[in-house]
Amino acid sequence: MPKTSLIRQLYSLVFPVQCLSCSCEGDWICPSCQKQLPTSRPEQCVICGKAAKHGLCDKCRRRTKLDGAVSLFSYAEKPIQKLIKAAKYRSHTDALMFWSKTYRTRTLRRLPEIEFTFTAIPLAKDRLTQRGFNQSEILARLLAGNEYPITKLLKKVKATDSQTALDKKERQANIRGAFAPTRKVVGPDIVLVDDVITTGATLAEAAKTLRKAGAKTIWAMTIAHG
């Protein structure tokens, strides 16, 4: 189960958080190492790396059914990779709180000025029970804050294998038909939140489902890409 902020505060008194880059005590990524992290530009596609507008090239935009994508960091950056794994597999949801506190404003600045509704990529019931939380849902709530509404618009209706070890075609086949809308009609402007975008297969399948339910504008938002 994820640690509450109070438990985490007590835990950190005994086991202080160490920077995931330089190992100094203080925070998940210390201020000095934050300055050294390269930030991805919206003029580069977060999926294929080609020239892009709003984080997606024309080809990837057509394929994923997304209008734009915001992802500040490459998953190849070790501190970012470790932070995501700490949250996802070791229940350190406070790592997501750190990321939001540090990078939320910079991330939201890349969205167009639209009254978006935030939603997250859902987990299957068995995986949610096993893990105890959905890291993408926590991230969506942190990013939405008090500025945007957040609603559960998708549910997982098909069990899927982990996408990690699959290639592009296998990912597309694995995730096909995995989602269904939670309501007949969803809002027109959606921000779809996940922790990482790689080939875009999961977000593409979710976007396709939301478009069938009435969504007009869909942006993806993740911590990392690649």
Residue 24 lies in a domain: no
Residue 26 lies in a domain: no
User: pLDDT tens digits, residue range 215-225?
Assistant: 999 999 999 99
Range of the domain at 98: 40-225
Residue 196 lies in a domain: yes
pLDDT, position 166: 79
CB atoms within 10 A of CB 123: 18
What is the spatial distance between Cα 143 and Cα 136, in angstroms, rounded to a whole number?
10
pLDDT, position 165: 73
- Could you tell me the pLDDT band of residue 163, with boundaries at 50, 70 and 90? confident
User: pLDDT tens digits, residue range 12-61?
Assistant: 544 568 999 999 998 999 999 999 999 999 999 999 999 999 999 999 99
Query: What's the mean pLDDT in 85-106?
Result: 95
User: pLDDT tens digits, residue range 168-212?
Assistant: 888 888 899 999 999 999 999 999 999 999 999 999 999 999 999
Q: What are phi and psi of 140, to 5 degrees?
A: -60, -40
Residues with Cβ within 8 Å of 192's Cβ and at least 6 positions away in sequence, in order, are: 66, 119, 120, 121, 203, 206, 207, 210, 218, 219, 220, 221
pLDDT, position 2: 47
Residue 79 lies in a domain: yes
Residue 25 lies in a domain: no
Residue 119 lies in a domain: yes
What is the spatial distance between Cα 164 and Cα 98, in angstroms, rounded to a whole number?
25
What is the domain count for the chain?
1
What is the spatial distance between Cα 220 and Cα 212, in angstroms, rounded to a whole number?
17
Residue 14 lies in a domain: no
Whether this prediction's pTM lies above 0.75 is answered by yes
Residue 3 lies in a domain: no
Instruction: Classify burial at 126, counting beta carbons within 10 Å of its beta carbon; exposed 0-12, middle 13-18, buried 19 or more.
Output: exposed
- From 219, 222, 223, 226, select the one nearest 190 (Cα to Cα): 219
CA angle 49, 217, 81 (to 5 degrees): 40
Q: For position 80, which CATH number holds?
A: 3.40.50
Under 8 Å between Cβ of 199 and 171:
yes
